[in-house]
Structures are given as C-alpha cells and as structure tokens.
Chains A and B, each alone.
Chain A
Amino acid sequence: MSRETARVAVVGAGPAGLAAARAAAAAGAGVLLIDSEPAPGGQYLRRDALADAAGTARRDRATALPAGTEHLPDTSVWAVEPAPGGGRRLHLRTGPADAPGRRGRTVDAAALVLATGAHDRALPFPGWDLPGVFTAGAAQALAKEQRIAVGRRVLLSGTGPFLLPVARSLIGAGARVAAVLEAGEPVTGWLRDPAGLAAGTGKLGELAGHLALLARHRVPYRPRTAVVAAHGDGAVRAATTVRLDPDWNPVPGTERTVEADAVCVGFGFTPRTELAVAAGCAMAGGFAEVGAAQATSVPGVFAAGELTGIGGADLAAAEGEVAGAAAARLLGFAARPPLRALRRVRRGRRFAAALAAAHPVRPGWQGWLRDDTLVCRCEEVGRAELVEAARARQAVGTRSLKLATRVGLGPCQGRICARNAAELVGDPALADGFARRPIAAPIRLGELAEDPRTAAP
C-alpha cells in the first residue's frame, strides 16, 4: 500500500484524466494515473488504426503523459472506501481483463480526480439483443482500434452529433453506411441556432466535415427517424425504420424494412458513476455534483468530464485541467488558477446544455417495445413482465424494484437497463439507486479474498 500525500491520483485516462494529470504535473505534483485500458486516451483518444500520419501524431501528442506520472494501465479500481487519516482508499487490480489472479494494490489518495467517463445509452426495441446490434460506441471502438467494421451494410440510429463521427469511422473501416437516422431534430439545425451552440464553435466545423463526408459517400441522413425493430434468426439481417413524431411515437404507415447486417444505436450517454457514488460524492440528476474548482462534496475528491455532465471532449479536458490544478493545490503545490480553462469550462457547459436541450430522449420510445421485448438483457426481463411485477409488488424503490422484477441484478448491474427500466415503470429517479455498486468492477472471489498488503510481491 502507498499513502499518496505528494501525488494526485487520477482515475481514467481519457481527455479529462489526461488534462488533470498534466495540470497537476505542471504544478509540481506527482501523478498516479489509473486506467482500465492498455494505452492512455480513453474512448475519445483511442488508438486509431484508420488515422493518417498527421492524425496519429496529433493523438500521440494528446495522449503523451507528463513527466513524473506513474501510469497504471490495464488497471481497474474495484472499490473505494475512506482512507484512515483522510482521503480515499482505492483498491486496484492490474492485469488482463477479467483474468483471475491480477496483481492487487491499495492506494490511499489524499487528492483524487475521478474522470471515469460515460458509455452510450441504448434504448430497447424488438430485436435489440440480436447479435449485430451494437452501441455506436462499440462500432467506433472496433473500427478505430481493432480495424473491424461491425457489418457490411450498417444502419446508425440514435440522437445527437456523436452518430456522425461513428459513421465516419465505419466508412473508414470499409462498411457501407445504409443511413444515419436521427430520432430528433437534425443536427444541421445547429447551424441555424447560434445562441448556446455557438459556444461550441470548434464543433461546427467538425460537424460540417462529417456531413460533407456522408454526402460524398451518398449516406442518407434522415431526421425524425429511428430503427424500431431488428430482424434476423440468430443475427441481424434487416431492420424496420419508421418516421417519428416530435415525442418519438412512430408515425403509422411510415415503416420501411431496410436490409442491414448491423444496427448501431446511440441515444446520448450515461455517466460511469459507481466510483463517485462509492466515494460518497453527492449526486444530482445522475451526475457528480461539483463546485467551481471541480471539487465534489467529499474533501479531496474532484470530478471531471462526462461524470459531471455530458459535454464532450473539449469540456472534459477543460474540467480536467481545473481539477488537476485544484488537486495539486490541495496537496500544497502552488498551482496557478487555470483561468483559461475555467473560461473554457463555462463556455463548454453552455454548449453542453444547448446540446442536451437539442437532443433530448423523448418518451415515445416506450411505444417501440412489444410486451416481450427485453428491457434487462442480462436477466432477460421483458417489458410487460417488468411493468406488471413492479405494479403488483408495489416496487416503488430501487432495491425493491430490482428484487421484485430482477432488472439490474445480472452481470451488468443495471448499467444498460437502469434508466430505461426506471422510465418504463414511471419513475425515472429510480435509476439513481442503481449507481450504488460497491463492487465497482468485477473481481474474482479469490482476488477479493487476498490482501495485497500481505500477498507475496
């Protein structure tokens, strides 16, 4: 075990975590950068096999680690608890993912930055659990890092600007993108809505570039449309698309069957909050609450990036810079107030709020499900079973909802289904309780049984 009083511990090596590491290092603090991936970058700055030399050089610069950083790759933080003497104790395991017998380590951090990011939100529809349905993030990660196109002919369905870079990656990996379906209003609407979205000026150029690429590849971009069913025997062969009204109810008579061997869905993002919740951070609306210097409600614990609100990589990096400087300052280093980053945070949050307002998930999706459409993929709980069990057993709390209906009790622990299930039973706030996952990442019982402080090195 190490007691870190001169180093800032950072969990997550995406844009927020990397910026935090840099800011802390610039202030003179050492950094312990903990990340579950083999290389720094997170989902956004993932190693991109499709990039050209310039792109690769840009990524290398963006993921370069500052001097004085100890990088712990392939490392999951599976538990957080109060450290004796203050701060938080992190329980780590390093080694091949989900292998038994990974190396254990315990770190007591006086200053901790959580930058754990987010994952795609997927909405259920008939057939969404067929092989060949992926999240947009999965398609992106497989294309960029594994050079795998998830299908030959791919449909993208969801809401928000993230669908466009995913389409770009799919094209780059050799897939034919059959269409990009935006359930809400078109992102091109941004170009006419300068107020809040202008705060993300850099984004507009990026967006225009993506749209131009789609046009070159003759990829239709259809607003107010979604995939509402996937078909196939054992794997996706086709999908039903439909026009949506403003509440996302299907417009009768607009169904079309589209041949596709992959469907990728992304309806915004869900923050990865288990470590923040386990650390005791106050949450608001499903995100970690932070003050001006990215401080959470727990002394010594800072949060940055999607964990505090969905806002994209630039905002995440700005928040990370602020958090890293604040964390170093807490340890007694003379960190200068990062005024530019603070400005970028303010501007980025305006953009994020405008983005969230422009791409809300509308309740009509609930009508896409049939009675037997799975809500919880792990425990295989269908919509009707869920709603009926919750009603008959008066399951009005998260714990009773889980135990009365079995949603969220399987291996994913509600990470995929919690928000959907909570909305389907009529109380979206129930989703918050699912984030209490004291075992933040799976650990083999034998690993848990072993005390790394006494284990042989």
Chain B
Amino acid sequence: MQGHPDVVVVGAGVIGAACAEALSAAGLRVTVVDRGAPASGTTAAGEGNVLVSDKEPGPELELAKASRRLWPELLAGLAEEIGPQASEAEWEPKGGLVVATGGESAAPLADFAAGQRAAGVRAEEIAPDAAFDLEPHLTRAVTAAVHYPDDAQLQPVLAAAALLAAVRARGGRVRPGTEALGVERTAAGGVAGLRTGAGTIPCGAVVNACGPWSGEFSAAAGAPVDVRPRRGMVLVTAPLPPGTVRRKVYDADYVGAVASDGADLQTSTVVESTRAGTVLIGSSRQRAGFDDTVRVDVLRAVAAKAAALFPVLARVPVMRAYGGFRPYAPDHLPVIGPDPRLPGLWHATGHEGAGIGLAAATGRLLADLFTGAPPVLDPAPFRADRPALTAEAVS
C-alpha cells in the first residue's frame, strides 16, 4: 500500500480485526499492529460465544442483538469477497439452553427471561422434558429451562483471521510483532502517529483495541481509560461423539456472574461442543491481575459444576485447560468511540467475556462514528468519557 494509513488499529484480536474490517469497508486505509501474533491473546482463549441469552435488558443487550444480526451478514460478505475457505469461521447458530437445577433458581430464571422477551429476545420457557429432548445427556435434576434459539457460536481465531484477511485484501496491512508504545501528537494536540517498537507510523487516528491491555496502552497514549484484566479458565475434553452436547448449555447462575462485582473468584457452568468434537467447559472469573498461573481449585470448581450438569462427562477425559484475560470496565460496559481528551484516539475495548459476540456490532459502530454515518445503535452508553471510566484512582 502506498502512503500512510488513515487509521492504525492497535490490537489484532477479534475486536481490533472487526474495527479494521469495518473501517476498511468504509474505504479507509487501515493498518493493524499487534505486539504478538494476530488473534493470540484474549481472542485465542475465547469460547466463541455469540450470545443474547446472558445479558439483561440494557445497552449491552442492544449491542449483542445488533451483533447477532450482523455476524452472519458479515461472514457471508467475507465469503463472497475472500472466498469460503479464508472466511470459514465455523459459524453455528445452535441456540442456547439455560437451566435451573434447584428450586430457588427457577423463579429468577423465569423473571430474567420475561425481561429479555420484553426487550425483543426470543426466550422460550420450556418444561424439563422438552429440555431433555433438546439435550439428552442433561441432568434429570433440571427444574426449569429457557431456550434461546438465537444464541450462536463461532471459532474466534478463524473469525479474526477472516476479518484481517479482508483488511489485507483491501490493501490494508497487518503487522504482527509490532508493539504500540504511545501516540505522537500534532501541535494542536491531536494524534499525529503511533509510536511503535518498529518506529512511528504516521496516521490521523489510532484505535485502542488492546483488550485487557487497553488500560496500559491508553495511559501510555496519555488518555487513560479504566479497563482491567479478569482471568478466565476453560477446560477442554477429549473429542466426543457428535450430539453429546448440542447447544450452549448454561446453569442459571451464569447471568449473575457476568454482571457481578462480588467475590474474587466466581464460577458458573457453560458447556458446549465445538465442531472438532471437543466439549468446552467454562467458565470462571477471577481477579488476579495478569497472573497467568493455572489454579487447580478454579478448574475443580468448573469441573464439578459441568459434571453435575452433564453426568456423562464425569468419565470423559479432560485433555487441556487454557486461560485468558477478559477486559472489563468498572461498569461492565464496553468502551466504543472517540476520546474527547485526545482528538484522533478511539477506543474499542472493555467487552469482558463477550468480545467475540459483540465484535461485529462494535466494529460497525466504531466505523459509523468514525465516518459520520448514522450509527447502527445508540452509542451514548459506550462513550469513552463516561464517569465510570475516567474516575481517577480506582484502586
């Protein structure tokens, strides 16, 4: 590509990739930098959730609904543009099933589902027997269940790779192994370039898509946003026969954990199969900074809940565990949009455990705001200058 990019996206995870794709689709010249390999951080640790089931009515659910609508369109467009192989992302609109196994969680689950229905989500309360039809290996201890036909799944590394392949096909660049160190400013105080370990890249705008490292990068850029890492662990079983677990199956306390500010370690069960036959078992949420030590007590808690949900899994081998860091903001909402303190700096981060699912709408919203197009949804709740983000000295 000749000349300087219009925009440099920092972070080649699924969020950065989606932003870069949307910006390049709008005709902008885009470069994506990542200090490591593309899609090798939080994205590589993701389960690939594209969920509407786990969000209470509010701005994040609106973003999730938009993203759920956009993902298949986006992937179909990529298939036409770069071919079915390069755009393959193992998209599966398999649906989700949330179950309660105790008397006390049945009523809150029904209330939660009613609220979501009011917000336009398909949330079908079904009898336990109907749940067993959907998931034959489910524990018979289920007392209530809600089926979410619109929950979907994709393979996050493939999805990010497809988005980045489209960026390259449009003349953009992806530069792995290039660490962003800060921004250069114009005399007027706006972004003049991105300083990297491989020299400065002159550009008019920088997008902070550094995921859990967004707090660090934004501070280095001179406009800190309060985004921090939250550790998550996933267990992977040996390959199992097709149909062992058919949907994304959660226990009903999942919703509580996502929005919670509570304990330093929370676990709730999410069980789902992948196209490769393995079953992924998540997930935990633990505040431990960037400490990537695997904690067996965390794995144990996740395993116990999964074996309770699907008793057949108790005698199945676990062959792998992996962890990642989810980026979260104090108010648990993503940060999408320009930073008024530093003209030319944009943020697309803070998606916690939902970045894979929210990526499609995040990229679109960012590009809409960037180009002045009518935004795909109301951007106000995600703005970078909301008080929850810039409150100083949150210890």
Contacts and interface: CB of A to CB of B under 8 A. Distances in A.
Nearest to B46: A403
A307 B155 CA distance: 35
Interface in B132-181: 155-158, 161-162, 164-165, 174, 176-177
A91 B299 CA distance: 12
A411 B238 contact: yes
Nearest to B238: A411
A100 B318 contact: no
Interface in B304-327: 304, 306-307, 313-323
B44 interface: yes
A395 interface: yes
Given A399-B44, A439-B321, A444-B314, A451 B293 contact: no
B37 interface: yes
Contacts of B177: 396
A393 B165 contact: yes
Nearest to A439: B321
Given A403-B157, A442-B238, A443-B317, A379 B174 contact: no
A445 B313 contact: yes
Given A396-B176, A400-B44, A404-B158, A445 B37 contact: no
Q: How large is the interface on A (under 10, 10 to 19, 20 to 34, 35 or more residues)?
A: 35 or more
A413 B320 contact: yes
Most buried by B among A81, A400, A413, A445: A445
A398 to B, nearest CB: 8
A379 B236 CA distance: 15
A79 interface: yes
Interface in A186-240: none
B37 A448 contact: no
Given A394-B176, A396-B38, A404-B161, A413 B294 contact: no
B190 interface: no
A278 interface: yes
Contacts of A278: 294
Contact of B85 (A392, A442, A449, A451): A392
Contact of B37 (A397, A446, A450): A397
Contacts of B321: 438-439
Contacts of B322: 438
Interface string B321-340: 11100000000000000000
Contact of B306 (A409, A445, A450): A445
Given A79-B296, A394-B164, A413 B319 contact: yes
B87 to A, nearest CB: 10
A449 B303 contact: yes
B144 to A, nearest CB: 24
B389 to A, nearest CB: 29
Contacts of B293: 81-82, 280
A451 B295 CA distance: 13
Given A397-B36, A397-B37, A399-B37, A446 B295 contact: no
A147 interface: no
Contact of A445 (B155, B162, B276, B316): B316
B40 interface: yes
A280 B291 CA distance: 12
B40 A446 contact: no
Contact of A403 (B44, B86, B239, B316): B44
A448 B320 contact: no
B280 to A, nearest CB: 12
Nearest to A378: B239
B158 A397 contact: no
Interface string A385-423: 000000011111111100110100111010000000000
Contacts of B38: 393-397, 400
A398 B44 CA distance: 10
Interface residues of B, number: 48
Contacts, number: 136
Nearest to B233: A438
A399 B43 CA distance: 10
A451 B298 CA distance: 11
A400 B161 contact: yes
Nearest to A401: B37
A42 B39 CA distance: 40
Given A394-B161, A448-B303, A400 B40 contact: yes
Contacts of A379: 276
Given A400-B157, A404-B161, A449-B300, A442 B44 contact: no
A409 B293 CA distance: 21
A444 B317 contact: yes
B19 interface: no
A70 interface: no
Nearest to A406: B276
Contacts of B39: 399-400, 403-404
Contacts of B237: 445
B358 interface: no
Most buried by B among A81, A89, A91, A397: A397
A98 interface: yes
Nearest to B161: A393
Nearest to B299: A448
Contacts of A100: 314-315
B356 interface: no
Contact of B294 (A79, A395, A443): A79
Interface string B67-87: 000000000000000000110
Interface string A422-457: 000000000000000111001111101111000000
B320 A437 contact: yes
B161 A445 contact: no
Interface string A250-279: 000000000000000000000000000010
Interface string A37-48: 000000000000
A392 B155 contact: no
B235 interface: yes
Nearest to B311: A446
B313 A411 contact: no
A394 B162 CA distance: 10
Contacts of A398: 40
B318 A444 contact: yes
A451 B300 contact: yes
A395 B161 contact: yes
A410 B238 CA distance: 7
Contacts of A400: 37-40, 44, 157, 161
B37 A395 contact: yes
A442 B320 CA distance: 8
A41 to B, nearest CB: 27
B315 A443 contact: no
Contacts of A403: 39, 44, 155-158
24 contacts: A79-B299, A81-B293, A81-B294, A392-B161, A393-B86, A393-B158, A393-B162, A394-B164, A394-B174, A394-B176, A397-B44, A400-B37, A400-B40, A411-B238, A411-B317, A438-B320, A438-B322, A439-B320, A439-B321, A444-B314, A444-B318, A445-B281, A448-B235, A449-B306
Q: Which 6 A-B residue pairs are closest in the complex by CB-CB distance?
A: A397-B37, A446-B314, A393-B161, A403-B157, A397-B40, A449-B304
Interface of A: 79, 81-82, 89, 91, 98, 100, 278, 280, 379, 392-400, 403-404, 406, 409-411, 413, 437-439, 442-446, 448-451
